[in-house]
Structure formats: structure tokens, C-alpha cells
Structure 1
Amino acid sequence: MIGVMREGGLLVLTLQRPDKANALSKAMLSDLLAALDDPPQVLILTGEGRVFSAGADLEEAKAGLATDPIWDQLSNRIATLPSLTIAALNGTLAGGAMGMALACDLRLAVPGAKFFYPVMRLGYLPQPADPARLVALIGPARAKLILMAGAKIEAEEALAWGLIDRIVVPEDLLTTARALGADVLAAIPGHASAIKRLIG
């Protein structure tokens, strides 16, 4: 349910459960973590179908996945990679799946994508690292709109807020993500990670 494609220093990880809106199971999260054991120069996260991810698989969420530390393990792993990390969001992003996108350096989204994190309504806390990353991008009031008021943010508003960096038509999404990683792939080893450390 996870597609793994390596091409030189590029790693593309694709959520492949479109019939379930790419809802994430524990096995999928484990596979994503395992795929990052050998850090690439450029990581692209994307999904199949019209939804990037609806968050946790509902049955597994009820059985404990909603509060499993693996969500933070994955997002923290992405955040600390010495790589350029790009979330190429092929559609709506919801719930705990937002953590991996927030942990990326860049976020692209298709027109019509929506962003929401319904932890208040569902009675869960967000994953521990997610609120601070959300605040760093959009500020505390807007983070409360999403996490406490249950706001669903459309792509255009998400771009204006800084939650995403570009809106890209679906047919150009991966091409654009690859183009953004081209300079990193062409650089000498370690150069990109040195710049990333300087940015903080």
C-alpha cells in the first residue's frame, strides 16, 4: 500500500490505498518509516487518487492507532532528514496525515484540495509535534481555527496563509516537485543539508 521509487538521490513515496482515501494503517506508517532508513537527497511524498490521505484508518484508530507514537516518529524522522522534503499533495489532507506534510520543507497542492484536522470533534489530541509546526507556518490563531474550531481550509486560503507553498494542476504536480529538487540532486553531497541547517 506504499509505493517506493528510488531514482539516484530521489525517493518518491506514494500512498497507494485510493479506494480508502489513502487512510493510513499502522503497517503503512511502518513502511514509510522503513523507507527512510537510507536518507535520499530529495524526498517526495504523494498519493494515488483524488485524496492525499484521510488520516488514520478508522478501525485501527478506534483500536489505538489514533494515539500511537508512530505518527510522531514518522513526522520527526521527515523533519530531521538531511534532504529536501516535498509533500506533493494530490488532494485533500486530513487528520494525523497532516503531520508528515507539516514536517516537509515544501508543500504543493492541487486546486480543490482541503486541509482539516478534526481532533476536537473526534475527542483526540493532535500528534505532539504537529501544533508547533502548524503554528510556525500559519500562526497561533489560525492553528486554533484548524485544531479547535474544526475549520476546513481550501487550497487558495492555505496558500495565502502559508500552509502550502504552491498550487499546481494535478497533471503537473510530480513534474513540479521533481523540478524543485533538481538543484539539490545536482549538488555535491552535503551541500543541501548544510544550507538546510543554516535556515534552521
Structure 2
Amino acid sequence: MIDLQKEGGIWTATINRPEKANSLTEAMLAELGDIALAATDARALILTGEGRVFSAGADFDAARAGLATSPLWERLSGAIAPLPCLTIAALNGTVAGGAVGMALACDLRIAVPGAKIFYPVMKLGFLPQPSDPPRMARLIGPARTKMIFMAGQKIDTETATAWGLFDQIVEADMLLDASRALAQDSISATPAHAAAIKGMIP
């Protein structure tokens, strides 16, 4: 249920379980991690979803069985963050729960109008994955991070953009084209050049 397309140096991984709001099973989460670990060969990596939701996080039954606190989430975000290529979360809709971590680990987050972001760990009684709060705090500051993790706020498109969680808003039918366009300068450079510039940005 993870579709991977490789074209012109751009790897596009699509979560394809729209009938379940692209919620992730253990196998899907492991597959995404495998793709991210292998993407050292990619010139750009785009993560997106099928349908109107990027991902609702862990599948409900799998979450109750322990997936909500699985190290597979940290394995995935930990594989995305150090990639030498440009990484883009193309958010075709709302991103929630553990799925927020993979979006935070990307270099850019491009969203469609109406996309929301929320991470209801306080309400559900789970701890977030260790790298997610500090990554979010680096983007939007500690107080706004607490609004999401501790106050359980659902952040709408406009607010997420104003805060810096979303970097660009594009219409749904242009999402992938816009994401690929953002990667063009990066993939036209040598991999070493792209990696060197990315390495200069904290």
C-alpha cells in the first residue's frame, strides 16, 4: 500500500490506503522506512498520499496493539532527516499523529487548501516520538509546539502557513507538479553540490 515511483532522479512515495485515511499499518511504516533508507540514491524524495488525507497516523487497531509507540516511526523520520537530497512532504490533505513526524523530517512541506495538522498524544495518553517535538519547536517555537502537543489544537492551513509549518499552499491538482518543480534546481546540480548546500543549512 506504498507506491514508489522513480523518475528523473525524483523518488515519489505515495501512501495508498485512502479508504482508511491513509492510516499506517506496521508493514506500511516499515516499508516507508526502507524506502527512506534506500533514498541515498535519490536526487529528491517526495512523500505524499492518495485521496484527501495525507495520513491519519497509525491504523487504529495497530495503534492499540502497540504501533503508536513503535520505534518504526523514529526509524522513518531518522532516515529522512539526514538524506543529502531535497525532501518534500507533499501534503494532499490533513496530517495527524505519528505521520506528522515524517513531514517534520522533510526539508519542505507543501500543502493543499484545507489541510490541517494535529498530534493528539496528550488526549490519547501516548508520548510523541522523541525527535518530533524538537523538530517542530525549531520550526515554530516552543509555545506553539505546546499548543499542538499539550493543548491538542488542530492547526488549520492558514495558521500552519503563518507559523512556518507549511511552506507553500497549492491546489490539489498541482501538488505533485509544484513539488517536482521545487526539486528541479536540486536535481540539476551534482549530488555533491546539492548535499554541500543542504549541509550548510542548520
TM-score when normalising by structure 2: 0.97
Shift of 1:33: 1.5
Partner of 1:166: 168
CA distance in 1 between counterparts of 2:39 and 2:114 reads: 34
The answer for the alignment partner of 1:189 in structure 2 is: 191
Q: What's the counterpart of residue 21 of structure 1? A: 21
Q: Could you tell me which amino acid in structure 2 is paired with residue 43 of structure 1?
A: L
Tell me which of 65, 72, 84 is aligned to 2:86.
84
Deviation string, structure 1 residues 141-195 (Cα, Å, up to 9, x no partner): 0000000000000011000000110111101100000000001111122111100
What fraction of aligned residue pairs are identical, expressed as a percent? 62
Q: Does 1:106 align with 2:108?
A: yes
Q: What's the secondary structure of 2:191's corresponding residue?
A: coil
Alignment partner, residue 156 of structure 1: 158
Give the secondary structure class of the aligned counterpart of 1:128.
coil
**CA contact 2:121–2:127 (8 Å) conserved in 1:** yes
Q: What's the CA shift for 1:38?
A: 3.9
8 A Cα contact 2:85 2:191, kept in partner: no
Give the SS at the match of 1:174: helix
How far apart are the structure 1 equivalents of 2:8 and 2:181? 15
The CA RMSD measured in Å over matched residues stands at 0.7
- CA separation in 1, counterparts of 2:5 and 2:15? 12
| Distance (whole Å) between structure 2 residues aligned to residue 49 and residue 41 of structure 1 | 26
Matches within 5 A, 1:1-200: 1-36=1-36, 37-39=38-40, 40-200=42-202
Where do 5+ consecutive residues of structure 1 fail to align?
none
Give 1:8 shift.
Answer: 3.0
1:48-68 CA distance string (max 9 Å, x none): 000000010010111010111
Q: Structure 2 stretches of 5 or more lacking a match?
A: none
- Deviating 4+ runs (over 6 angstroms): none
In the alignment of these two chains, the number of paired residues is: 200
Name the CA distance, whole Å, in 1 between partners of 2:24 and 2:55: 7
Structure 1 counterpart of 2:9, one-letter code: G
TM normalised by structure 1 equals 0.98
